[in-house]
Structure 1
């Protein structure tokens, strides 16, 4: 039996016919009132309860009522657990009725990890409108492509209308410019109607700088640890129970009130907690309790740079019980081999055998010395099932943290995009695409903000310049504050008019169809495959033998045509299912016989993938 802290409700909780109960944690305050912005402001005194929670009921507060907390005559602040900031982070919070939305997804129970084909998108740049409504209009396209889950970059309220989302300051409030709480509910409901799961990216490792008023309420931060963003969130110091409560309640709110299927936990290596029960383990326990109440499962997916299986191992085995984690080694292994880039953290990669190791053993750094970090890194993940790892050849970080935000479309040939797609969609891991990747979007994905504090804007500009100082030869880093930087990051969706882009999208669609329907890929895993790599030639043989008919995938990720031989264990005849050089996929044309025997020689054009199916 796991003993968990009893959680405390926070924020403004409205009950039809009864009014709104306001609860806020402010342990150092002498008195706290809530001010309702009626035509005449009304101040409602709150009662102090144990541990510095203040609470009170107002029948006058109904959905839409604007309110602030009065901590002293000259300190009026929005609610740290505000569900809606209609006028942005500096103005009053609004009461939200979480019970009134008319859900139509009663039959939906979410998808298991092994069925996820994730599509990561940024609400602001995914469509011209840049809203939740805009995403809804594109769902039929994503459904037709074969996507089974969308992953929204953070949508917690941030300053202005343009931000990646990692500067959020109201973790409970869906961004006003995207469509607020109702817009998000409509999007989730529409996804479930299309049998698409929704993953939400949440940030529990830091808060944005502008509009962050938490320090006025209590010790949400600790100076025990240094982070790139200043003091760390207080997960293990004095009063940390109530900070933990704040984030547990946040996670449960998204799952329960917004019907979100999975949370992607940003950079969990920056959640500093040396207590007896790590924040992530306790989060998993609270989510498990919610699963029992709701009769369905929810997924937690962590992002970490530590290559540590403790995150995803079961609690019973001393792990934290998180369902899956992002797996960057696979990205780095592919990226360095196809682009030749070796700067920054890529210096640890670029050896062909790392690609084979990433397929067979998952972590490349599994107790090895990292030259980039100057320390030994990682644990052995060979025994962890492949479905516990989310991979991609591009994502918001890997594209957007480049000075010029270039996608792979700009870095490799058109033909090379196809074997790269195959390495992701034919791997045993959970595949994730980054919006626009499937047709080779040409617009960059740049770093953008819309802060209103001039000093902060200058600091951000300066920081970006310094970060990319050694790329001076490539010109200036685009100005993150400029609206043009944001607009240049919007998808063009060229595939509607560009034949090559349309063919690439069709190629992705076919790979996704194969992933969903080929028996050998029904439950792909490391023990059910054979991997062989010709290091000099950069030719990878990947054989899926889980169920008949087996699939044999041949990748040439070099820029030269290569000749190879089907390995001898691949007995019998093999029929070509797909050849990336075919004209129908925008290729130069493929010349090869339709059936091959084990030991046969195969010509692989530069940058190509061939998929063969075993013949009985």
Structure 2
């Protein structure tokens, strides 16, 4: 098993050719058409000391005089895709000096976006970093604090979600490469927006994944949904861990990002004395001191375990935040009435109340979907984490895109119901995150789309249909390989100023402003959050001296609820002289309750 590093990886040398390939005897590098033999050195490294790496040069490696010329596993640029030659690049040369000194993102409003569909280009084709820059002012007006980019590392084809990437250091060429990302980060920072990047360390996509040819990047000692696990604890794992740590350093130090969202960390299977995530957390702390900026790590974890966000000194994994899927499931099931799959355990308003107050429904209790006891309880009085340690959302790329047709929640419910649901998220105790376009109830879906140009393409299309056939939804599944599936997922920015879209946009702006202005709504103390189930259709989320009334309908509000003041409402609400409230149907209101409430 591996042992922890004495110190995290330092600055990378971008001016030389070097390759870790312990699985081979000889390595050659072809630079702009000229072949050079590389010299073997300690611990499986090969180097070329006499030929500098000049920016713009194209290069590839050949192992043991084989037939294939392979891209660099640490390549920063793949202009011709995942199978093509690599390009020498120094990302530090692309950054410009800015006054941005970072910020804490705990409790801030996050905004998840996909570069290819967020802001389509002027020709109606896929978006890129430059087209996304043109829409940043709209995010500032909305009131968000940070952008979370879906993966932008190199993946097959021009279009895709990015979770089948194979280059952990390179930036997708169709988006604008490292230069485009640098422009985007500078533009966001100049507007006061932090930038997070979604990264995938738990697997690589099958197309263009050559890592196993170089060395023991994977191990059959652990299995994941994608096959063999990334090698974090078997022989050779020290270099594999440094490979991952080096990519993180590049994003946070060299590129200047403010943090990372780590995909499915429960599949980072590691039995070594120090879990990779704990080592990563300690490395990032060192890089915070180096950069003078606060850096953020957000984990996607299925474990429902507060140890994920507990500090390493307390035996935790040291993540700053983790996604709270149970909160999503509770709100979604309550507002939509869906009960299939993992929504089955979230069938009542009491389940909604539980997740709003204690984050996890499955907290050492039985999970019907998993058919086992699951999770651990969140301690409201913990000194190691608080409500802001949990990212909450009504929609995200998974919960929309992994539906058969990529339909958004408001495509199946009344807009006033969406307004009620998002009020519980944006004014709830967690760190809220929005998904692109939900703020104006976008008419477009966010479907699953790919662009494989090999035999994998038809397999992906057939697999997608088979996945939903058992549920009777096969006819709803758009072909992920079709370009029209991708194009249909692009946001239509013109509709945000029209009719009900504009009404929803104003509601989101109002809620975000209230969250920022009212101390009770950004209080991270779970002990000051209480939920009263007034009826199965109506809940009252109390945050200190303020409250959110959410009514899913149908029909008027019942129960004689009273309030001293209505700060904001959606869907219509009347207040009688004695403070009694009535609503004609579904909706939400932000209240200053009377003491009797």
User: Please, what TM-score do these two structures have when normalized by structure 1?
Assistant: 0.91
| CA contact 1:10–1:246 (8 Å) conserved in 2 | no
Following superposition, the deviation at residue 287 of structure 1 comes to 0.7
Name the structure 2 match of 1:17: none
| CA contact 2:61–2:69 (8 Å) conserved in 1 | yes
- CA–CA distance in structure 2, aligned partners of residues 433 and 7 of structure 1: 33
Q: Which residue of 566, 585, 590 maps to 1:576? A: 566
Verify: 1:591 aligned to 2:574, yes or no: yes
| CA contact 1:564–1:604 (8 Å) conserved in 2 | no
Following superposition, the deviation at residue 112 of structure 1 comes to 3.4
Following superposition, the deviation at residue 123 of structure 1 comes to 0.4
Name the structure 2 match of 1:586: none
Q: Secondary structure at the match of 2:575?
A: coil
Alignment of 1:205-604 (within 5 A): 205-383=202-380, 384-453=385-454, 455-472=455-472, 475-536=475-536, 538-545=537-544, 550-566=545-561, 574-582=564-572, 590-593=573-576, 600-604=579-583
| CA contact 2:404–2:473 (8 Å) conserved in 1 | no
Go from structure 1 to structure 2 and tell me whether the alpha carbon gap of 1:473 and 1:378 turns closer, same or farther (over 3 Å shift): closer
Name the structure 1 match of 2:87: 94
Structure 2 alignment gaps of length 5 or more: 122-126
Name the structure 2 match of 1:31: 26
| CA contact 1:10–1:23 (8 Å) conserved in 2 | no
- Greater relative contact order (CA < 8 Å, ≥ 6 in sequence): 2
Q: Which residue of 57, 67, 72 maps to 2:49? A: 57
- CA–CA distance in structure 2, aligned partners of residues 552 and 603 of structure 1: 16
- CA–CA distance in structure 1, aligned partners of residues 50 and 496 of structure 2: 54
- CA–CA distance in structure 2, aligned partners of residues 107 and 614 of structure 1: 40
- CA–CA distance in structure 1, aligned partners of residues 209 and 225 of structure 2: 16
Go from structure 1 to structure 2 and tell me whether the alpha carbon gap of 1:77 and 1:9 turns closer, same or farther (over 3 Å shift): farther
Name the structure 1 match of 2:124: none
Greater displacement, 250-259 / 573-582:
573-582
Structure 1 alignment gaps of length 5 or more: 15-19, 568-572, 583-589
User: Please, what TM-score do these two structures have when normalized by structure 2?
Assistant: 0.94
Following superposition, the deviation at residue 591 of structure 1 comes to 3.1
Q: Secondary structure at the match of 2:415?
A: coil
CA RMSD of aligned residues (A): 1.9
Go from structure 1 to structure 2 and tell me whether the alpha carbon gap of 1:78 and 1:10 turns closer, same or farther (over 3 Å shift): farther
Name the structure 2 match of 1:44: 36
Following superposition, the deviation at residue 417 of structure 1 comes to 1.3
Name the structure 1 match of 2:592: 613
| CA contact 1:206–1:233 (8 Å) conserved in 2 | yes
Go from structure 1 to structure 2 and tell me whether the alpha carbon gap of 1:519 and 1:615 turns closer, same or farther (over 3 Å shift): farther
Following superposition, the deviation at residue 477 of structure 1 comes to 1.5
Following superposition, the deviation at residue 496 of structure 1 comes to 4.2
- CA–CA distance in structure 2, aligned partners of residues 99 and 44 of structure 1: 27
Q: Secondary structure at the match of 1:100?
A: helix
Go from structure 1 to structure 2 and tell me whether the alpha carbon gap of 1:157 and 1:58 turns closer, same or farther (over 3 Å shift): farther
- CA–CA distance in structure 2, aligned partners of residues 199 and 61 of structure 1: 29
Report how many residues are paired. 583
Cα deviation per residue 1:527-560 (whole Å; 9 max; x = unaligned)?
2233211243x21112222xxxx32221112323
- CA–CA distance in structure 1, aligned partners of residues 95 and 25 of structure 2: 41
Alignment of 1:195-206 (within 5 A): 195-206=192-203
Go from structure 1 to structure 2 and tell me whether the alpha carbon gap of 1:471 and 1:58 turns closer, same or farther (over 3 Å shift): farther
Go from structure 1 to structure 2 and tell me whether the alpha carbon gap of 1:411 and 1:48 turns closer, same or farther (over 3 Å shift): same
Verify: 1:118 aligned to 2:119, yes or no: no
Q: Secondary structure at the match of 2:261?
A: strand
Name the structure 2 match of 1:70: 62
- CA–CA distance in structure 1, aligned partners of residues 4 and 73 of structure 2: 27
Q: Which residue of 76, 81, 87 maps to 1:83? A: 76
- CA–CA distance in structure 2, aligned partners of residues 469 and 192 of structure 1: 45
Following superposition, the deviation at residue 615 of structure 1 comes to 8.8
Q: Secondary structure at the match of 1:509?
A: helix
Following superposition, the deviation at residue 225 of structure 1 comes to 1.9
| CA contact 1:172–1:250 (8 Å) conserved in 2 | yes
- CA–CA distance in structure 2, aligned partners of residues 272 and 135 of structure 1: 35
| CA contact 2:153–2:169 (8 Å) conserved in 1 | yes
Greater displacement, 475-484 / 140-149:
475-484
| CA contact 1:494–1:501 (8 Å) conserved in 2 | no
- CA–CA distance in structure 1, aligned partners of residues 290 and 361 of structure 2: 39
Q: Secondary structure at the match of 1:356?
A: helix
- CA–CA distance in structure 1, aligned partners of residues 10 and 213 of structure 2: 20
Go from structure 1 to structure 2 and tell me whether the alpha carbon gap of 1:614 and 1:415 turns closer, same or farther (over 3 Å shift): closer
Q: Secondary structure at the match of 1:75?
A: coil
- CA–CA distance in structure 2, aligned partners of residues 78 and 335 of structure 1: 44
| CA contact 1:9–1:23 (8 Å) conserved in 2 | no
Following superposition, the deviation at residue 614 of structure 1 comes to 6.2
Go from structure 1 to structure 2 and tell me whether the alpha carbon gap of 1:305 and 1:188 turns closer, same or farther (over 3 Å shift): same
- CA–CA distance in structure 1, aligned partners of residues 144 and 438 of structure 2: 13
Go from structure 1 to structure 2 and tell me whether the alpha carbon gap of 1:292 and 1:102 turns closer, same or farther (over 3 Å shift): closer
Following superposition, the deviation at residue 47 of structure 1 comes to 2.5
| CA contact 1:146–1:512 (8 Å) conserved in 2 | yes
Greater displacement, 388-397 / 44-53:
44-53
- CA–CA distance in structure 2, aligned partners of residues 458 and 54 of structure 1: 38
Greater displacement, 524-533 / 372-381:
524-533
Cα deviation per residue 1:291-335 (whole Å; 9 max; x = unaligned)?
111122201000011101111111111101111100000110111
Following superposition, the deviation at residue 9 of structure 1 comes to 6.9
Alignment of 1:144-223 (within 5 A): 144-223=141-220
| CA contact 2:92–2:255 (8 Å) conserved in 1 | no
Q: Secondary structure at the match of 1:415?
A: helix
- CA–CA distance in structure 1, aligned partners of residues 202 and 474 of structure 2: 32
| CA contact 2:387–2:429 (8 Å) conserved in 1 | yes
Q: Secondary structure at the match of 1:99?
A: helix
